[in-house]
Structure 1
Amino acid sequence: MPSADRRLQPRRTPRQVRAELTRERILTAAAHVFAEHGYAAGTTNRIAERARISIGSLYQYFPNKDAILAALLVQHIDRGTWTGADRIDLAPGTLRTAVQAVVRDAITNHSDDPHLLRIMIEEAPLSQELLDTIARHGKDRVTQLRDLLGRHPDVRVRNLDVAAELILFTVELNTHKLMADPRSIPVETVEQELVDMVTRYLLGDRPD
C-alpha cells in the first residue's frame, strides 16, 4: 500500500489561486477525456491538450492518470455532501417525503455523467486520500441520517445506528448501480421503489 499510494499522490498541492485553477482545469479536462475516450485511451497527453497546458505542467500536479482519476473520485465524493437535511419536514405523516428527499439527493449527486461515474467506480485506484474521504463522507452521512431519523415522530426502528447504516448502504449501492449502468428501468421507478422500501422499514412494517 505505501509504495502504491505514493504513485497516486499529487505532486503539487496548490497554495495559490492560479495553481488551484490549473489543478481544476486538469481535473475538468480529465473528466471530459475519460468520458469521451474511455479510461484506457484517456492519456495524459489528451488531458493536457484538453486543459490547454503542456504535458510538463500536468506532471507538476499529477504523476500519472491514475492519480488524476483518484483525485476526480475524491472530488466527486466531497461534492456529494448532503446540505438539505435541515430543511426536511419532520411533522407527523411526512416520513415518506423525508425518505424521498434522501433518495433523490443521492440520485442527483450521481446523475451528471453516468459514463464517467462508471469509469471512476471500476477503474479508480484506492489511494489513502480516497479511503480517508470515503470513510469521512460515510461517517458524516450516517450521523446526519441518524439525527434525522431520531427526530422524526413516525420512525419505529429498533436501533437507529443500525438503521442509518443500512439505509445509507442500500440507497448508495443501488444509486451507484443504477446511474453507472442504467438499464430499461426508469430512474423514477427505482426512486419510488427505494422510497417505498425504506419507508416501510422505518415505519416498522415487518412481521414480529
Structure 2
Amino acid sequence: MARKARNPQRQPVQDRSRQTVGFILEAAVQVFEAHGLAGGTTARIAERAGVSVGSLYQYFPDKQAVLNALGEAHVADAGARIADLLARIGTAAPDLPALLRAVVETALDLHADNPVLHRLLYEEGLLTPDLRARVEAMAADLVAVVAALLDRQPEVRPGDRRLMAWFVVQTVEHFAHRLVIRPPAADIGAAGAGELVHLLHRYLTG
C-alpha cells in the first residue's frame, strides 16, 4: 500500500521558524544515526534539536512527517546537484574520462553528504512514491544527456548510446551506494572513484 505523504502542519515563514525546522531536521538525522529508525522518537529528536516536543509538533505531526521532510530536502538537493552537473558537462563537452569522473564524483558526493539518511530513504523504503518518481525522472534526464555526450565521443565503441548511458548511470548509482553507504575496507574506498571511472571507461571503449 502506498504511503501517504504527510507534510509539516505549520509552514515556516519567518527566519526563526525556518531555523527551527532546520534544527529539527538536522537533529533527526543525528538521532536516527544514534538510535535507528525505531528508536528515533520525536521526543529524542526534540531534545537533540533543543526544542520542546510541542514545538516540534507545530511543524511535524509525527515522525513520518519528519522523514518526509528529510526526503523532500534530499531530493531537492539531488536535483540541484544533477542540474549543475548537466550544465557543466553539457557546456564543457569534456573528454570521456573527464565526463565519467564528473558523473562519478557527483554521485559519491551526494551519497557521502548524508549516508544515514540515504540508507533510511532507499534501503528501508522510506522514500515516498512521489519522491521516488522524481528521483527516477532525474535519472532519466541524466541518461538522456549522457547518451548525447557519448555520441560525441569518438573513442566510444559502436552500440546503442542510450543503453550504454543507462548502464553508466545505474553502475555509478550502485557503486556509489556501496562505497559510501556500505563502505568496504578503507584502501578500497579511497581508490573507489578512480577504479569506477576505469571500469566504465573500459566498458564504453571495449
Above 0.5 in TM-score? Answer: yes
TM-score w.r.t. length of structure 1: 0.80
Residue pairs, 1:36-51, within 5 angstroms: 36-51=34-49
Does 2:165 correspond to 1:164?
Answer: yes
- Contact kept? 1:44, 1:64, Cα under 8 Å: yes
Partner SS, residue 151 of structure 1: coil
Structure number having the greater helix percentage? 2
Distance 1:17 1:141, change over 3 A: farther
Mapped to 1, the partners of 2:175 and 2:163 lie a distance apart of: 18
In the alignment, residue 68 of structure 1 is paired with which amino acid?
Answer: V
1:146 is aligned to 2:147? yes
Match of residue 21 from structure 1: 19
* Cross-structure match for 1:111: 112
Gaps of 5+ in 1: none
Structure 2 stretches of 5 or more lacking a match?
A: none
Q: Is the 8 A contact 2:29 2:116 kept in 1?
A: no
Q: Which residue of 2 aligns with 1:129?
A: 130
**1:44, CA displacement in angstroms?**
0.6
Aligned with 2:31 (options 30, 33, 36): 33
2:203 paired residue among 185, 193, 201: 201
Equivalent pair of 1:157/1:201 in contact (CA under 8 Å): no
User: Is 2:144 the partner of 1:176?
Assistant: no
| Count of matched residue positions in the alignment of Structure 1 and Structure 2 | 199
Moved more, 119-128 or 48-57: 119-128
Cα offset, 1:116, TM superposition: 4.0
Deviations 1:130-166 (A, max 9, x none): 2233223223322332333233343334222222221
Q: Distance in 2 between matches of 1:53 and 1:139?
A: 41
Q: 1:181 to 1:61 in 2, by over 3 A?
A: same
CA gap 1:127/1:90 in 2 versus in 1, 3 angstroms = closer
Give the percent of matched residue pairs that are identical in Structure 1 and Structure 2: 36
The DSSP-based 3-state class of the residue aligned with 2:113 is coil
1:113, 1:127 → 2: CA distance? Answer: 18
Q: Deviations over 1:55-85 (max 9, x none)?
A: 2232233232233223323322321222134
The answer to whether the 8 Å contact 1:12/1:62 transfers is: yes
Give the Cα–Cα distance (whole angstroms) in 2 for the partners of residues 71 and 141 of structure 1: 24
When structure 1 is superposed on structure 2, of 141-150 and 158-167 the one drifting more is: 141-150
What TM-score, normalized to structure 2?
A: 0.81
Q: Which residue of 2 aligns with 1:9?
A: 6
Aligned-partner SS, 1:84: helix
Decide which moves more: 147-156 or 182-191: 147-156
Per the alignment, in what secondary structure is the counterpart of residue 101 of structure 2? helix
Once the two structures are TM-superposed, the CA of residue 101 in structure 1 deviates from its matched residue by 1.6
